[in-house]
Amino acid sequence: MKPAATALLLLSAGSFLALACGPEDRSPPALYGYYCAQCHGDQGQGNPRLDRPNLDLRESTLLSGDRQDAHRRIAEGYKTMPSFRNRLSPAEIEALIDFTRRFRQDEPAIGDAPTEPNL
C-alpha cells in the first residue's frame, strides 16, 4: 500500500474511533456532560478550579452572537480549548450550541414558551 493511502486509512480509522469512543447517548445533554462540563460546569458556570478565561458560558457573548463563529471554535478549538472536529459531527455541534444557549441569562431555556406581557 502506498504511504499516502496508508496515512488516509489511518486518519479515517482515527476519526471513526474518536467518534465511537464518546458516550453512547448522543443527545445534547449527554454530549455536554461528556465533553464540556469538566471545564464549563454542569450549568455553564465554569470550573473555578481552572485558571482559564472564558469558561463561564452564562457570560459568553459568543453564544448570543454568530453561530458560525461558535461552531468554528468548537470544531477547531480556541486557545486552551481542544478541537472537537473528530469527536462531534457538525449536527452534534449545532445541537450543543442550542443546548448551551440555555445557560445565558438572557436566553429562554429550551422548551420555554415566550411569555406574553400582562396588559
- Higher pLDDT among residues 115 and 30, named by residue: 30
* Number of Cα atoms under 13 Å in the Cβ half of residue 40: 24
Contact 101, 63 (CB under 8 A): yes
Contact 10, 4 (CB under 8 A): no
- pLDDT level of residue 114 (50, 70, 90 thresholds): very low
Instruction: Give the separation between CA 90 and CA 7, rounded to whole angstroms.
Output: 23
Residues 6+ apart with CB under 8 A from 1: 9
Residue 37 has a pLDDT of 94
Tell me, yes or no, if the pTM score tops 0.85. no
pLDDT in tens, 12-28: 444 444 445 688 999 99
User: Is 71's pLDDT higher than 90?
Assistant: yes
